[in-house]
Amino acid sequence: MGKVVTFGEIMMRLDPKGYRRFVQAEDFDVSYAGGEANAAVGLVQLGETASFVTKLPAHEVGQAALNAVRRYGVDTSFIVRGGARLGIYFIEKGASQRASKVIYDRAGSALALSSAADYDWDNIFSGADWFHFTGITPALGGELPDICKQACLAARKAKVTVSCDLNYRKKLWSREQAREVMEALMPFVDVCIANEEDAADVFGICAERTDVHKGELNREGYISVARQIHEKYGCARVAITLRGSLSASVNTWGGMLYQNGNAYFSPEYTVQIVDRVGGGDSFGAGLIYALKNGFEPQRAVNLAAAASCLKHTIEKDFNLITLAEAESLAAGNASGRVQR
Amino acid sequence: MGKVVTFGEIMMRLDPKGYRRFVQAEDFDVSYAGGEANAAVGLVQLGETASFVTKLPAHEVGQAALNAVRRYGVDTSFIVRGGARLGIYFIEKGASQRASKVIYDRAGSALALSSAADYDWDNIFSGADWFHFTGITPALGGELPDICKQACLAARKAKVTVSCDLNYRKKLWSREQAREVMEALMPFVDVCIANEEDAADVFGICAERTDVHKGELNREGYISVARQIHEKYGCARVAITLRGSLSASVNTWGGMLYQNGNAYFSPEYTVQIVDRVGGGDSFGAGLIYALKNGFEPQRAVNLAAAASCLKHTIEKDFNLITLAEAESLAAGNASGRVQR
Amino acid sequence: MGKVVTFGEIMMRLDPKGYRRFVQAEDFDVSYAGGEANAAVGLVQLGETASFVTKLPAHEVGQAALNAVRRYGVDTSFIVRGGARLGIYFIEKGASQRASKVIYDRAGSALALSSAADYDWDNIFSGADWFHFTGITPALGGELPDICKQACLAARKAKVTVSCDLNYRKKLWSREQAREVMEALMPFVDVCIANEEDAADVFGICAERTDVHKGELNREGYISVARQIHEKYGCARVAITLRGSLSASVNTWGGMLYQNGNAYFSPEYTVQIVDRVGGGDSFGAGLIYALKNGFEPQRAVNLAAAASCLKHTIEKDFNLITLAEAESLAAGNASGRVQR
Amino acid sequence: MGKVVTFGEIMMRLDPKGYRRFVQAEDFDVSYAGGEANAAVGLVQLGETASFVTKLPAHEVGQAALNAVRRYGVDTSFIVRGGARLGIYFIEKGASQRASKVIYDRAGSALALSSAADYDWDNIFSGADWFHFTGITPALGGELPDICKQACLAARKAKVTVSCDLNYRKKLWSREQAREVMEALMPFVDVCIANEEDAADVFGICAERTDVHKGELNREGYISVARQIHEKYGCARVAITLRGSLSASVNTWGGMLYQNGNAYFSPEYTVQIVDRVGGGDSFGAGLIYALKNGFEPQRAVNLAAAASCLKHTIEKDFNLITLAEAESLAAGNASGRVQR
Amino acid sequence: MGKVVTFGEIMMRLDPKGYRRFVQAEDFDVSYAGGEANAAVGLVQLGETASFVTKLPAHEVGQAALNAVRRYGVDTSFIVRGGARLGIYFIEKGASQRASKVIYDRAGSALALSSAADYDWDNIFSGADWFHFTGITPALGGELPDICKQACLAARKAKVTVSCDLNYRKKLWSREQAREVMEALMPFVDVCIANEEDAADVFGICAERTDVHKGELNREGYISVARQIHEKYGCARVAITLRGSLSASVNTWGGMLYQNGNAYFSPEYTVQIVDRVGGGDSFGAGLIYALKNGFEPQRAVNLAAAASCLKHTIEKDFNLITLAEAESLAAGNASGRVQR
Amino acid sequence: MGKVVTFGEIMMRLDPKGYRRFVQAEDFDVSYAGGEANAAVGLVQLGETASFVTKLPAHEVGQAALNAVRRYGVDTSFIVRGGARLGIYFIEKGASQRASKVIYDRAGSALALSSAADYDWDNIFSGADWFHFTGITPALGGELPDICKQACLAARKAKVTVSCDLNYRKKLWSREQAREVMEALMPFVDVCIANEEDAADVFGICAERTDVHKGELNREGYISVARQIHEKYGCARVAITLRGSLSASVNTWGGMLYQNGNAYFSPEYTVQIVDRVGGGDSFGAGLIYALKNGFEPQRAVNLAAAASCLKHTIEKDFNLITLAEAESLAAGNASGRVQR
């Protein structure tokens, strides 16, 4: 089977230790993260071959970001070097009633200022059979909306399946900008991944009777959103992640896959959170793995949900779990007994 | 508006890392803490101006304690320097059925051995409109009961509101000593803050049908205690914190404000504890903020409860949350969703 | 009263920090642990005198293992020095649905390759009145089954009570090997400690209607297992630990003591786990303490359960709690209120 | 005496732990630093009152930068809040033949994009008698050259002494840009601080027979440079720092003060380096302290050299030494004997 | 140009933090290291393509070792998975008169127990033009002497240059065993790297008037050793590393390359040591780089010496320096001035 | 051979990490230390049996101090439990021209307030043949001068050799107090250990032409001091440690033993300091070991100097080196070559 290509930004992630607030931090954990990098790493852990495409400054900090994905087996041979800076995000971990807080410092990154000439998509897609990106990549602006479109065109030419996680970020662009750009990309998207907020923010597609801030989950509403996306943009599959935020420490988590008019819901997990960032990306990686390997829909969404449930127990963005671990949980083994 | 003055001891706080016990500790987190210092820091984070008064040794360790409150914006210009040592407290963090344990090593501190001549209260209260102290300050003995009385007299002269958190500490003085000293101070106190145990320990004021070790909370009992304090000592307002200790890891938390014959209860929060020390102090800070800014009683106790609920999620004694965060929780936003 | 002798392996334990996975580890906490060392340390904390017998390499890493138990007051004067290596185990801490994982690297340890001539049991048991080992010691192979038998014989000669925690480890030996060896040792065992899986794995003794992976606890089943062990091997007392694994973060925990045809169940605790490794060993230590000090059965199992409940809140294998702490919890004080 | 005002950028400083390279870093020490902030902190430690002026983002990371100087007693009441980001610099510590390496990520900082309207210089200089900035501030571009000029004009109006450390940074501007801007500011500068490279880079003023990369120090050359600066720009005093870089681990260090046609050289120290960043800033702080307090020239340069020699032994940019410590070294006490 | 293949063991390296002794260690830094892995990583940093061949257990600890070299760009596609354990070495860092101490725990590693069938040398050498191993690999025993010979034969067949660093380890084999095995491999070796002790230990080749324990370096002696190796075994080039151990904190370091009857000595560096382990391996990597890229002999030995001098300033075994850094030092830039 | 008994205070030692100053400390390394505890630990590492006598609070912090010496094999069975607090000392590590700084917080410790009735010297000296204390113990005041005298009397009665390290601490007592008390104890002292300052401070015994702050060492002066002590107080042996403080980072170190009218000087070592605290105590331990084991004078002082030279390379007060290591250095092996 061919490789998966993902394209997007990788940032430096800086976390105060433990539950310290920003103003208490005397040191930061440093890791490197971004939606598409996270997905690539997650896919390799599950057993796929994946190549991550981005642009990174030539200096040592850029090198460290490259090394971070290379360490976990992602192909980095198409990463372009150049540009001035690596985007950064700061995150302090919340607990109980106190939310985690993210401060982005990503403007002017090497990727955001990259140009179409930096990427040779035909070459990149040689040997690939899946292309994945998120709505963050075009949201970075500059030439990226165009570059994404070129990538999608090249993917189609190469008969590569395209998946997109909408991932709306209100600090990067307005809803109007997002809708205009994303509507131009959706015709290329075979698998659309979203949460209910994304669909409303980007496409104005809403489901009734669901208030994400209350943690209420509404099965019919999710199906309605997925059906609308499918009908409006033609995506063969629409997947929606279902998060119930009971507190910063405990969430419920699951997913739904809509395909051929049917909706398949995974079990809902209640998770004690170690680090919930990258949860959605890990769902995407699990889903891509499952679909690429021909899982039928229920098994596919179950694997994606199990893999991403486990992500919530792992520090930093990357989902460092194996296929065996995800499948064991998907099979119902949730007791957490010590494995000796 | 004028500044808040708080007066009391600040100690070095030494914590084994994580959940290590004292006998396992190879290093300690070092921070600086004390009821009135905690309140001053909390008030500044909420937007007030606050000045913390104490006495600290002239050496570098004393300087570090001063710097710790200065870092968070507290005025330190009235801190007296001199004396031999800084009080210390050691704390190991409990979990589940294992309680947190505190070992005090505070005898002979610069503050405890300070004399009335160290403090120029008229100068200190210039520009102030609130004075706050806790029962720990007079409990330190020496001249401190007298010094507290002088401070209260000067506060009254300067038309400064006085609040006192009873904070009974059985290792510092007997109930009899506490009652004698505190009864002499209560006539000056406009706002009295306590928990049910304090009132019983210091004043022998009890409410029926409540066993704090069982975590049972009894609304009528609390109202009864507050009313008795009000009636006996004339405090215009009496606030009581309501802690239900389900385990060392999970507590319920809320507060009650008694004013003009009415009792206002905050919502009760269930909190997963990061660090519960300083919880009461942060309630006091929230309440002072609210009353000083003219909040009506229900809103005041709600703000105090929300601010101090959040304190339980923050490492070390200081409540490093903003007014916006406290108000958001008071408004019901407890989902802990990531803030991007 | 005489000392307790325990005999077994002590290994280096290496943990990635916090919840990091093995592949994320940049450093390891290092501690030293093993079932019988854990029990010896636990007993000394409760107030007993204990001597731990093992064989350790003469180099500094072996010395560090010796120092680790000596630090907590265990007598190390019968530890033999020599051999090539110290066994190692790696453990990453699980959370929520993700199980903790142990990787053993213990083959070829100094103990595993030790010979009968290394141990002078008559001398070792001088002044002793209890001998404790677990099924792991004979499972290490080589001469250890014989050495264990010699120790039991010497213990009997010295009128020393013998306790054994079955502790079946499938990576060390097959069920058939275990049964053969353990059945030869059981005639010496006065107090047998097990969990339901152990009894089934080692002796083929099963109870109906219990699925340990589901966390269902079945009182009748446990009594049945204990009775069968008693009847088959003559152990005067059989104790069974009762773990319900709700997740890697939360377990239920308790114990049962079967004696003279009666079964005594401790209360069941729900514990938020800091570190569950060594939980069974700490139950054994609590039980030995209680029986050695003449506790009646209900009080004995309650103490053992309380001591080992608290173990789950303590980092690393050793149960560093005092008798007073265990008795306080056994008396029902589970509120976790700060001890000042 | 009046306060010292310093104006410039404060950045987040991120260091890999110990001697780790950037590509090895799993965590960073975080501190906050910048030439003028460093000088302000150093001045307060010596006993002066200092106010640091800058612009910082309103978010928590900006707050942490503000807190960092406030912690050490610097007045922060004139710090403007707003703008998008805090500049960052990464530094890995060199050793022996391997140089320390700095990567700047400071473009687009709140200060760099600030406007003249952000600063009310007349108000800022109320109560001040010294103004200090470095060549880095105008080098940040935007309106900063103008803002610096306005500050200088206001300083002159307020009869405030002005000092400037040339601090040429080739990554911020070209020599031509630097010369044009700095020549417009020099007429306001009473005390000019430089190293030989700065003078050559900014003003094209050179001394013969000195190769800074060889660590050769040439007294006549330094005097020549100082005299030329004095003659060309009218600065009453010119100070030059003298660094001999034997390796990344060992430097020689001293300074020279040129005043009224005479040159005063401090002793030369050989220092084993803990952290040499901020060395020049600490020289400036020591010199300002000495001149402000009326030290005669030899004593002034000796104090500045001693204070900054000690800086090389202190982690991070701030020179956290006391006047007594600097004076003790200046008096010749360099034995490093333990102070009990 | 083709890739470099290296073949050997990679171990887990465990270091107490800082200068702590083994018996003081509460945690260990964990890294992964081995002579040939070190060389491969060093080569990639210099700009080469390198593939590291070894056998690693399938478990997560084995994976972590693989990831460690993959992170730095080494090809891992020929690493065989299987076997029971990863070798381990413990190291405590010395200082001044106290030597660093290494404790090996490497017996029974996956590589040591691997068999010839695990390696497909013809495939491995496809696209390669250099093969490097050290004397440690055959010293591990089992089939490894034969496997090394097969690798050499395959290398010759593929017209691949072979280099070998003698690296005698007395704990792994006797001098007699070493000589027998190494003499059978030397006919394949084009470039032999050694230190004087190695040559004496393995081949009995000595130079007069040099006592390595005194740190005396004797140029004629080194030339004599190199000439003898060349004459006896036909290696076209012989390189010798020259270490003068002044103390555990300061060493002198340089190298010599013997080629066509001429000896080329690098400059001698005096280095303040951060971590000297892997110094020899980094010399080998530098030399291979230089020879593979056609450097003339003096420049080659200078680059190798400069690269490995810098290694002594870098934590852990891998030499994480760039070609530009090595060339800068080789060009004489040793001042350690901060690079901004 | 019999055991060594040492008697004195053990304190908690708190160090900021690395080279951080007190005002920068966010955490402290915690260890436990004191002159006589250090000596006891050092003696056990060399192979002696030693018992440390002190009084410690019953709480967990007191227990941790006890465990600290027990960990390294010191007998703790005569440690008395009780009293209010453990003495504390804070130390920040100096570098280069910046001296290390110690802040003591030891007043009111359990030992300082202990009474004669706490110690049963006849029992303590059963099986002992050496008693060691330092001048710090009587300097703590209260009953300690008397207790020390009682200990000396009991030692004499038990035919136990007595050694005393003068260790004058000006913060604990005046020279006059010291002289009065120490002169009463000297008649019991067989082996007196001092540095030149001690002799001058305590006994007014001076040597000409030596200025300890300049690091000048004067052999004749030291001999003169030793001879005077011997003549005045009758000590059979007088040993003097010789420290030359070149800087906080580099010292020279050696010792002299005066016996039977002859003076034996050890070699002088130049040491790069990791931690110099406890250097004198480790000299004492080495000397006691050597004299107790019948070394002739030159060999004895050489061993003591070598052992204590190595101490300077070890973190915290305890000298964790073996006899073999000390003897190897005493034999001249100072190259610091890696021991594999």
pLDDT along chain E (340 residues), means of 10: 96 98 98 98 98 98 98 98 97 98 98 98 98 98 98 98 97 97 98 92 81 62 94 97 96 97 98 98 98 98 98 98 98 94
ipTM score assigned to the predicted complex = 0.95
According to the model, what pLDDT value does residue F51 have?
98
Say which residue, C333 or F207, is predicted with more confidence: C333
Q: In this structure, are residues E322 and E46 in contact, taking their beta carbons and an 8 Å threshold?
A: yes
Q: Of F66, F105, F106, F315, which to mutate for an interface test with B (greatest number of B Cβ within 10 Å)?
A: F105
One-letter amino acid of B199 = A
Phi, psi of B65 (to 5 degrees): -65, -45
Q: Which residues of B42-78 are buried (b: 16+ CB within 10 A; e: fewer)?
A: bbbbbebbbbbbbbbbebbbbbbbbbbbbbbbbbbeb
Phi, psi of F200 (to 5 degrees): -70, -45
pLDDT in tens, A160-210: 999 999 999 999 999 999 999 999 999 999 999 998 799 999 999 987 655
Can you give the length of chain F in residues? 340
Q: Specify the DSSP class assigned to residue F264.
A: E
Q: In this structure, are residues A42 and A285 in contact, taking their beta carbons and an 8 Å threshold?
A: yes
Does position A46 have pLDDT exceeding 60, yes or no? yes
Res. A218 pLDDT band, cuts 50 70 90: confident
**Distance between CA atoms of F301 and F296, rounded to whole angstroms?**
9
Parallel/antiparallel/unpaired status of strands C88-92 and A161-165? unpaired
- List of chain A residues whose C-beta atoms are within 8 Å of the C-beta of residue E67: 71-73
Task: Point out the residue among A19, A101, A169 whose CB comes nearest to the CB of B339.
Answer: A101
Task: Collapse the DSSP code of A263 into the 3-class scheme (helix H, G, I; strand E, B; otherwise coil) and give the result.
Answer: strand
Calculate Rg over the CA atoms of chain E.
19
Closest among E234, E261, E257 to E308, alpha carbons compared? E257
Full-model pTM:
0.97
**Distance between CA atoms of F30 and F27, rounded to whole angstroms?**
9
Task: Point out the residue among D214, D247, D277 whose CB comes nearest to the CB of E336.
Answer: D247
Closest among F225, F153, F169 to F193, alpha carbons compared? F225
Q: Specify the DSSP class assigned to residue B76.
A: -
Q: In this structure, are residues B78 and B53 in contact, taking their beta carbons and an 8 Å threshold?
A: yes
Dihedral, CA atoms, C319, C325, C327, C331, nearest 10 degrees? Answer: -120
Residues in Cβ contact with B202 at an 8 Å cutoff, skipping those fewer than 6 apart? B135, B166, B168, B175, B178, B179, B182, B194
Q: State whether A213 and B335 contact (CB < 8 Å).
A: yes
Q: Of D11, D13, D14, D171, which to mutate for an interface test with A (greatest number of A Cβ within 10 Å)?
A: D14
Across A266-275, D199-208, F251-260, least confident range: D199-208
Q: Please, what is the average pLDDT of chain D?
A: 96
User: Cα D244 vs. chain centroid, distance in angstroms?
Assistant: 18
Q: State whether A90 and D61 contact (CB < 8 Å).
A: yes
Q: Specify the DSSP class assigned to residue D188.
A: G
Q: State whether A107 and D103 contact (CB < 8 Å).
A: no
CA B50 to chain C, closest CA, distance in angstroms equals 28
Q: State whether D271 and F104 contact (CB < 8 Å).
A: no
**Distance between CA atoms of A283 and A304, rounded to whole angstroms?**
5
Q: In this structure, are residues F265 and F253 in contact, taking their beta carbons and an 8 Å threshold?
A: no
Does position F41 have pLDDT exceeding 80, yes or no? yes
Which chain E residue shows the shortest CA-CA distance from C17?
E27
Does position D214 have pLDDT exceeding 90, yes or no? no
Phi, psi of A154 (to 5 degrees): -65, -35
Structure tokens at D115: 């406007």
Across A15-19, B193-197, C23-27, F26-30, least confident range: B193-197
Res. C294 pLDDT band, cuts 50 70 90: very high
Q: Three-state secondary structure along A208-227? A: CCCCHHHCCCCHHHHHHHHH
Q: In this structure, are residues A268 and A252 in contact, taking their beta carbons and an 8 Å threshold?
A: yes
Q: Of E71, E72, E76, E322, which to mutate for an interface test with A (greatest number of A Cβ within 10 Å)?
A: E71
Chain B residues with CB within 8 Å of chain F CB:
14, 17, 21-23, 25-30, 59-61, 63-64, 67, 84-86, 88, 90, 92, 101, 103, 105, 107-108
**Distance between CA atoms of E315 and E334, rounded to whole angstroms?**
19
CA B45 to chain F, closest CA, distance in angstroms equals 21
Q: State whether F96 and D340 contact (CB < 8 Å).
A: no
**Distance between CA atoms of A36 and A65, rounded to whole angstroms?**
13
pLDDT in tens, C249-264: 999 999 999 999 999 9
Q: In this structure, are residues F283 and F134 in contact, taking their beta carbons and an 8 Å threshold?
A: no
Structure tokens at E2: 């083709």
Q: Specify the DSSP class assigned to residue D17.
A: S
**Distance between CA atoms of C77 and C65, rounded to whole angstroms?**
13
Which chain D residue shows the shortest CA-CA distance from A92?
D60
User: Cα F172 vs. chain centroid, distance in angstroms?
Assistant: 16
Which chain E residue shows the shortest CA-CA distance from D213?
E335
Q: In this structure, are residues B72 and B41 in contact, taking their beta carbons and an 8 Å threshold?
A: yes
Which chain E residue shows the shortest CA-CA distance from D276?
E338
Structure tokens at A222: 């999710």
Beta strands in chain B (DSSP E): 3-7, 11-16, 27-33, 50-53, 55-56, 80-81, 88-92, 101-105, 128-134, 161-165, 191-194, 237-245, 250-259, 262-265, 269-272
Phi, psi of C48 (to 5 degrees): -85, 165
**Distance between CA atoms of D300 and D288, rounded to whole angstroms?**
9
Closest among F288, F278, F276 to F239, alpha carbons compared? F288
Q: Please, what is the average pLDDT of chain C?
A: 96
Q: In this structure, are residues F312 and F276 in contact, taking their beta carbons and an 8 Å threshold?
A: yes
Across B205-214, D243-252, F276-285, least confident range: B205-214
Q: What is the mean pLDDT of residues C274-284?
A: 98
Does position C46 have pLDDT exceeding 50, yes or no? yes
**Distance between CA atoms of E23 and E13, rounded to whole angstroms?**
17
**Distance between CA atoms of B309 and B291, rounded to whole angstroms?**
18
- List of chain D residues whose C-beta atoms are within 8 Å of the C-beta of residue F213: 333, 335, 337
Could you tell me what percentage of chain F is helix, strand and coil, using 3-state DSSP and rounding each to the nearest 5? Answer: 40, 25, 35
Residues in Cβ contact with D268 at an 8 Å cutoff, skipping those fewer than 6 apart? D217, D242, D244, D252, D253, D254
In chain F, % of residues over pLDDT 90: 94
**Distance between CA atoms of C304 and C282, rounded to whole angstroms?**
7
Strand partners, D239: D193, D257
pLDDT in tens, A221-249: 999 999 999 999 999 999 999 999 999 99
User: Cα D132 vs. chain centroid, distance in angstroms?
Assistant: 9
Task: Collapse the DSSP code of C30 into the 3-class scheme (helix H, G, I; strand E, B; otherwise coil) and give the result.
Answer: strand
Which chain A residue shows the shortest CA-CA distance from C26?
A29
**Distance between CA atoms of A251 and D117, rounded to whole angstroms?**
47
**Distance between CA atoms of C279 and C195, rounded to whole angstroms?**
12
According to the model, what pLDDT value does residue F217 have?
54
According to the model, what pLDDT value does residue C215 have?
47
Structure tokens at C56: 């350790």
According to the model, what pLDDT value does residue D213 have?
52
Q: What is the number of H-type helices and E-type strands within chain C? A: 11, 15
- List of chain D residues whose C-beta atoms are within 8 Å of the C-beta of residue F278: none
Q: State whether B104 and C313 contact (CB < 8 Å).
A: no
According to the model, what pLDDT value does residue E215 have?
47
pLDDT along chain B (340 residues), means of 10: 96 98 98 98 98 98 98 98 97 98 98 98 98 98 98 98 97 97 98 92 81 62 94 97 96 97 98 98 98 98 98 98 98 94
Q: In this structure, are residues F97 and D334 in contact, taking their beta carbons and an 8 Å threshold?
A: yes
How far are the Cα atoms of A247, B21, B98, D138, D165 from residue A250, in angstroms, in the given order? 5, 27, 22, 50, 53
Which chain B residue shows the shortest CA-CA distance from A104?
B340
Calculate Rg over the CA atoms of chain A.
19
Q: In this structure, are residues E90 and E105 in contact, taking their beta carbons and an 8 Å threshold?
A: yes
Structure tokens at D75: 């007045």
Does position D215 have pLDDT exceeding 60, yes or no? no
CA E250 to chain F, closest CA, distance in angstroms equals 9
Which chain B residue shows the shortest CA-CA distance from D60?
B322
Task: Collapse the DSSP code of B96 into the 3-class scheme (helix H, G, I; strand E, B; otherwise coil) and give the result.
Answer: coil
Q: In this structure, are residues E59 and E82 in contact, taking their beta carbons and an 8 Å threshold?
A: no
Task: Point out the residue among D29, D88, D90 whose CB comes nearest to the CB of A27.
Answer: D29
Chains that touch E (3 or more CB pairs under 8 A): A, C, D, F
Q: In this structure, are residues A43 and A321 in contact, taking their beta carbons and an 8 Å threshold?
A: no
According to the model, what pLDDT value does residue E218 have?
81
pLDDT in tens, F114-135: 999 999 999 999 999 999 999 9
Q: DSSP readout, F194-248?
A: E-HHHIIIII----TT--GGGT---HHHHHHHHHHHHHHH--SEEEEEEEEESSS
**Distance between CA atoms of B156 and B161, rounded to whole angstroms?**
7
- List of chain D residues whose C-beta atoms are within 8 Å of the C-beta of residue B72: 67
- List of chain F residues whose C-beta atoms are within 8 Å of the C-beta of residue E100: 336, 338-339
**Distance between CA atoms of D275 and B169, rounded to whole angstroms?**
45
Calculate Rg over the CA atoms of chain D.
19
Which chain E residue shows the shortest CA-CA distance from D89?
E340
Does position D281 have pLDDT exceeding 50, yes or no? yes
CA F21 to chain B, closest CA, distance in angstroms equals 9
One-letter amino acid of F224 = S
How far are the Cα atoms of D156, D248, F225 from residue F239, in angstroms, in the given order? 66, 40, 10
Q: What is the mean pLDDT of residues A315-321?
A: 98
Size of interface D-F (CB pairs under 8 A): 84
Say which residue, A33 or A212, is predicted with more confidence: A33
- Helix (H), strand (E) at residue E131: strand E128-134
